[in-house]
């Protein structure tokens, strides 16, 4: 019992909600009770209350209530014991998680000092500096990650084990714009997009993680699913914040469970319009699978040869993409 109370003191419920669920709320005059939209179900009027002094929550909309551990059970679909393990990991990240956090921070700093990377982002139509920071986009310049991490006490064999460098000590994601892939809020992988002549796409040999930014869209009544992270960035920049990404057309079992977890959700599949029809065929297969599971799904038809990123980079507007969504729904 003392261990449980100590754990809840280390991670106040209000702080956890704000940091891990981007929960925004208004407080009463003494700043002990806060109210906002419920993170556990979709609603338009705030009914979720948190008492910061008692460290408890209650939602008048869905009826759920309890402490931090109960919230994690409900939000992450975990057992009581699994919820305790999950929270302990938030306090004590493993060595692997810590090195990935360090690497992500290094990549973000490198983006600021390498103009070739920011020029590449601009060429892809991504110019919103606040959005670039929010998405945690970075740059693996190459040749300096090993030196940076070993200076922080990490061994060469650890860097190799985590897949961050090759046998010669070179950055695995050499000269690539990077995105951090997460699972239950923790970084588990990096996606790199080459800005030069190397093969465009690269993931480290690690799990892909959750659908990208899933916690920010999981309660949306409609979700747009795209192939690539630049597609997601372009759509977020255009105001379509209910967009997520599986990094490719293949969903892992965990990603499928996330996408199909809510029967009332509408899914708009916006994969690439490939010359060989690969993206279109994958989109229709996924939509059919969703239909068989009793979910509503629609396939977007973009102009030939385009993906959402290239569509906006070529001059498409928010209204143009909205029209694509409406046509998909009517088809």
- Rounded Cα–Cα distance for residues 278 and 273 (Å): 8
Q: Which of 10-14, 33-37, 294-298, 315-319 has the lowest mean pLDDT?
A: 10-14
Query: How much is the pLDDT for 224?
Result: 98
- Rounded Cα–Cα distance for residues 249 and 219 (Å): 22
- Rounded Cα–Cα distance for residues 7 and 46 (Å): 28
- Rounded Cα–Cα distance for residues 162 and 32 (Å): 43
Tell me the chain's radius of gyration from C-alpha atoms. Answer: 21
Contacts of 20 (CB under 8 A, 6+ apart): 185, 215
CATH number of domain containing 164: 3.90.980.10
Q: How far is CA 257 from CA 128, 210, 244, 276, 283, in A?
A: 32, 10, 14, 29, 17
- Has residue 39 got a pLDDT over 80? yes
Asked if 66 and 56 count as a contact pair (C-beta separation under 8 A), the reply is yes
Do 225 and 306 reside in the same domain of the chain? yes
What does the block give as tokens for 90? 């938030």
Asked if 81 and 74 count as a contact pair (C-beta separation under 8 A), the reply is no
Average pLDDT taken over every residue of the chain? 91
pLDDT digits (tens, 9 = 90+) for 48-99: 999 988 999 999 999 999 999 999 999 888 889 888 878 876 665 555 678 9
Do 164 and 227 reside in the same domain of the chain? no
By CB atoms closer than 10 A (0-12, 13-18, 19+), residue 123 is exposed
Query: How much is the pLDDT for 29?
Result: 58
Query: How much is the pLDDT for 217?
Result: 93
Strands 222-226, 201-203: pairing kind: unpaired
Query: How much is the pLDDT for 203?
Result: 94
Confidence band for 132, pLDDT divided at 50, 70 and 90: very high
Q: What percent of the chain has pLDDT over 70?
A: 95
How many domains are there within the chain?
3
Tell me if 81 is assigned to some domain.
yes
Do 38 and 72 reside in the same domain of the chain? yes
Which domain-ending residue is among 203, 231, 246? 203
- Rounded Cα–Cα distance for residues 300 and 246 (Å): 16
Q: Which of 64-78, 90-104, 232-246, 262-276 has the lowest mean pLDDT?
A: 90-104
Confidence band for 23, pLDDT divided at 50, 70 and 90: confident
Query: How much is the pLDDT for 92?
Result: 54
CATH number of domain containing 63: 3.90.580.10
Q: Which of 34-43, 93-102, 206-215 has the lowest mean pLDDT?
A: 93-102
- List beta partners, residue 51: 33, 56
CATH number of domain containing 282: 3.40.1360.10
Mean pLDDT, residues 226-231 = 97
pLDDT digits (tens, 9 = 90+) for 154-206: 889 889 989 999 888 889 999 999 999 998 888 999 999 999 988 999 999 88
Q: What is the pTM of this model?
A: 0.74
Q: Please give the residue range of the domain that contains residue 177.
A: 95-203
Asked if 233 and 126 count as a contact pair (C-beta separation under 8 A), the reply is yes
Do 297 and 236 reside in the same domain of the chain? yes
Helical residues (DSSP H) of the chain, grouped into ranges:
2-10, 13-20, 68-76, 80-91, 95-113, 115-123, 129-134, 145-151, 156-161, 214-217, 229-237, 253-259, 278-292, 308-313, 318-330
Mean pLDDT, residues 257-269 = 93
Do 275 and 182 reside in the same domain of the chain? no
Do 283 and 242 reside in the same domain of the chain? yes
- Tell me the helix, strand and coil percentages in the chain, rounded to 5: 40, 20, 40
Tell me if 22 is assigned to some domain.
yes
């Amino acid at each position: 019992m003392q261990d449980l109370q100590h754990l809840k003191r280390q991670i106040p419920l209000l702080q956890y909600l704000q940091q891990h669920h981007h929960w925004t709320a208004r407080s009463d005059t003494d700043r002990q009770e806060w109210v906002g939209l419920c993170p556990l179900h979709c609603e338009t009027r705030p009914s979720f209350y948190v008492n910061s002094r008692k460290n408890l929550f209650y939602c008048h909309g869905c009826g759920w209530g309890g402490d931090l551990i109960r919230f994690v059970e409900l939000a992450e679909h975990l057992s009581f014991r699994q919820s305790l393990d999950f929270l302990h990991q938030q306090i004590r990240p493993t060595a692997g998680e810590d090195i990935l956090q360090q690497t992500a921070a290094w990549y973000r700093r490198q983006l600021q000092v390498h103009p070739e990377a920011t020029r590449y982002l601009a060429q892809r139509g991504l110019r919103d500096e606040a959005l670039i920071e929010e998405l945690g986009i970075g740059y693996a310049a190459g040749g300096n990650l090993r030196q940076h991490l070993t200076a922080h006490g990490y061994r060469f064999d650890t860097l190799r084990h985590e897949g961050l460098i090759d046998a010669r000590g070179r950055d695995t994601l050499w000269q690539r714009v990077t995105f951090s892939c997460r699972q239950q809020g923790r970084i588990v992988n990096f996606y790199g997009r080459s800005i030069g002549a190397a093969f465009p796409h690269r993931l480290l040999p690690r799990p892909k993680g959750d659908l990208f930014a899933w916690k920010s869209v999981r309660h949306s009544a409609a979700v747009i699913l795209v192939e690539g992270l630049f597609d997601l960035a372009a759509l977020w920049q255009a105001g379509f914040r209910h967009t997520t990404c599986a990094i490719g057309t293949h969903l892992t079992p965990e990603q499928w469970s996330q996408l199909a977890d809510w029967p009332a959700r509408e899914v708009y599949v916006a994969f690439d319009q490939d010359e060989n029809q690969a993206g279109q065929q994958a989109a229709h297969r996924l939509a059919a699978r969703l239909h068989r599971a009793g979910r509503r799904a629609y396939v977007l038809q973009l102009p030939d040869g385009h993906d959402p990123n290239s569509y906006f980079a070529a001059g498409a507007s928010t209204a143009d993409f909205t029209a694509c969504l409406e046509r998909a729904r009517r088809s």
